[in-house]
Amino acid sequence: MRVALFTETFLPKIDGIVTVICLLLDHLTARGIETVIVAPKMGVDRYNQTAVIGVPGVTMPLYPELKVGPPTLSTYQQLKAFNPDIAHFIHPALIGGFGLLMAKHLDIPTVASFHLDVARLVHHFNLGFIEPMADWLTRTLFNWADYSLAPSRLIQREMLALGVKNVGLWGRGVDAERFNPHYRTTDMRRRLSDNHPDDTILLYVGRLSTEKQLDQLKPVLERVPGTRLALVGNGPARADLEAHFAGLPVEFLGYMQGEALSQAYASADIFVFPSALETFGLVVVEAMAAGLPVVASRVGGVADVVREGVNGYTFESGDIEALVEGVRTIAASREQITQMGRAARAFAETQTWPAMMDEVVDLYARLIQQRRAQVA
């Protein structure tokens, strides 16, 4: 089997979408499946065994970490030379839209997976007039594909309501060895807390941007005694957040990878996630695997993994009172933090990436077989 992936974002950018792409490529390689990926040209020519077909582009104003541009004739020639059996589109937009046309011309089956709620994103940036167009584009592009995949039941329902057909579920897993309580260290705990390891350490991991609504964590620090906040990640809102949290116990750690990231998760106490929109929220499951109870807004796949009062609490996006109360309840005692953290870890151990990825491989095989039967 030969699989071509198309994506609007890839390395060296680091986010949840890129994480899933790399995990998928690793799994396909381990299964002996040949792969190529069509992605923005960002200086990365290869990822492990996968060649990268770079698409030239320009920097996107609202998302400066990305470059956007349409595939070229060279893109198509390289794709044709690879001779894929199937194409998988990681939330098709510009690259994916043209890629779908290429796949149709090559007469190969196509899968499109949902990773970014573009319509809600533009709404959040007060560009609501674009929202109907974004919904139309999502419906059109995903219906061009032979089959679509949603990352959570919530998104699956929303896609079906939007008019997307043939929507299956591709859940998210976690590497329970990489994200594990045994990575907890005193040194990292001191780093997260500015040398106050006995306080209750709240952790956020992800992009620092306005849609994550991290400013709403300020009342938590003001109203729940003994709490401190550690922000791991970077993004366009960092300077504003540094000003917003001035004088409060907040540490900005920047990007972390590898063992340092594993230690950061495991060395905190509670994971906080007030995001306004999300397709899944991969970092939530990573935090749970590290033994952290979660307080998160009900976006993406959060409701699929958080059990109220067992391994965390959820709240409607923007409900600051519920956010504060969730943290206060868990932080009431060290025993409560430990008990809910163990429950979070136990749940995360049931969510494995190999099983999730094998479902996608099985889908590829089924669609390839159906296409070959049609041709015959």
Q: What is the pLDDT of residue 10?
A: 95
Same structural domain, 258 and 284: yes
298 and 246 in a single domain? The answer is yes
Query: Do 219 and 192 lie in a common domain?
Result: yes
Q: Can you list the residues of the chain whose pLDDT is less than 50?
A: none
User: Which two three-digit tokens encode residue 352?
Assistant: 């494995």
Beta bridge partners of 40: 55
Q: Does residue 160 sit in the same domain as residue 204? A: no
Is 55:69 a contact under the CB 8 Å cutoff?
A: yes
pLDDT attached to residue 126: 61
d(CA 107, CA 110): 9
Distances (CA, A) of 269 to 158, 193, 336: 33, 11, 11
pLDDT computed for residue 46 by the predictor: 97
Do 188 and 271 lie in a common domain? Answer: yes
Are the C-beta atoms of 29 and 59 separated by less than 8 Å?
A: no
Q: Which DSSP string do the residues of 257-280 spell out, in sequence order?
A: -HHHHHHHHHH-SEEEE--S--S-
In DSSP terms, 55 is beta-bridged to 40
C-alpha pair distances (Å), 266 with each of 64, 185, 217, 288, 338: 31, 8, 20, 9, 12
- Which pLDDT does position 116 carry in this prediction? 76
Write the CB contacts of 175 (distance below 8 Å, at least 6 apart in sequence).
289, 353
Query: In terms of pTM, does the model score above 0.85?
Result: no
**pLDDT for res 186:** 97
Cα separation, 96 vs 171, in Å, equals 21
Q: Which among 339, 341, 337, 317 has a CA at the least distance from the CA of 328? A: 337
Residue 322 sits in the same domain as residue 369: no
Count of Cβ atoms closer than 10 Å to residue 82 Cβ:
17
Q: What is the bridge-based pairing of β-strands 50-55 and 46-47?
A: antiparallel
What pLDDT, on a 0 to 100 scale, did the predictor assign at position 236? Answer: 93
Nearest to 52 by CA among 32, 30, 27, 25: 25
Which pLDDT does position 222 carry in this prediction? 98
What pLDDT does residue 121 have?
60
Cis peptide bond prior to 12, omega within 30° of 0: yes
Domain count, the chain: 2
State pLDDT tens for residues 122-147: 555 566 667 788 889 999 999 999 99
Cα–Cα dist 222/256, whole Å: 27
366 shares a domain with 262: no
Shared domain check, 210 and 147: no
Q: Is 247 helix (H, G, I), strand (E, B) or coil?
A: coil
Q: Are 259 and 322 in a shared domain?
A: yes
89, 96 contact by CB (below 8 A): yes
Question: Other C-beta atoms within 10 Å of 61: how many?
Answer: 8
Structure tokens at 358: 């094998």
**Number of C-beta neighbours around residue 323 at 10 A:** 26
Question: What is the enclosing helix (H) or strand (E) of 354?
Answer: helix 353-375
Q: In the numeric block, which tokens belong to residue 316?
A: 């409607």
Q: How many CB atoms lie within 10 A of CB 109?
A: 23
How many whole angstroms separate alpha carbon 360 and alpha carbon 44? 25
Alpha-helical (H) ranges within 58-203 are 73-82, 94-106, 118-124, 131-144, 153-162, 186-192
Residue 112 structural domain:
2-173+352-375
Alpha-carbon distance values, 154 to 208, 279, 344, 357, 363 (Å):
24, 9, 21, 20, 21
CA distances in angstroms from 236 to 29, 193, 218, listed in the order given: 34, 23, 19
The answer to whether residues 276 and 155 belong to one domain is no
332-350 pLDDT tens trace: 999 999 999 999 999 999 8
CATH number reported for the structural domain that contains residue 274 in this entry: 3.40.50.2000
Q: Does one domain contain both 73 and 129?
A: yes
The pLDDT score that the predictor gives to residue 213 is 97
209 and 316 co-located in one domain:
yes
Strand-by-strand arrangement of the 270-273 sheet: 250-254, 227-232, 200-205, 270-273, 294-297, 312-315
For residue 298, what pLDDT is reported? 95
